[in-house]
Amino acid sequence: AQSVAQPEDQVNVAEGNPLTVKCTYSVSGNPYLFWYVQYPNRGLQFLLKYITGDNLVKGSYGFEAEFNKSQTSFHLKKPSALVSDSALYFCAVRGYNTDKLIFGTGTRLQVFP
């Protein structure tokens, strides 16, 4: 069965420092992976996706994610965090032979000035 795990409930980082939000997955077949961000009292916004190709995927707002097949991971990264990046981040994997997405439980990112 397809599943995704976000092992950290919260990540704290100082403004200007690099940030990483972790995601691991378990799939049957090829993995199709997504990252979303949710600001307070808002819906989710799409950041980036991995379907095939380069292991480093670039997305919106300066975010990127590294696909690692051997470690079954798809960590979200940004070289220099901003206070405005503080939000809830969700990793998701496409279900097997379906357009449904399976979401992780979310990681709250807090960037301190």
Residues in contact with another protein by the rule CB under 8 A: 9, 32, 34, 36, 41-46, 49, 51, 90, 94, 99-101, 103-106
Number of helices (H), then strands (E), belonging to the chain: the values are 0, 12
Measured from the CB atom, the residue of 6 and 85 that comes closer to another protein is: 6
Measured from the CB atom, the residue of 82 and 101 that comes closer to another protein is: 101
- What's the min distance (Å) between Cβ of 113 and another protein? 26
How open is the CA angle 60-31-97, to the nearest 5 degrees? Answer: 115
Measured from the CB atom, the residue of 51 and 83 that comes closer to another protein is: 51
CA dihedral 9, 14, 18, 23 (to 10 degrees): 0
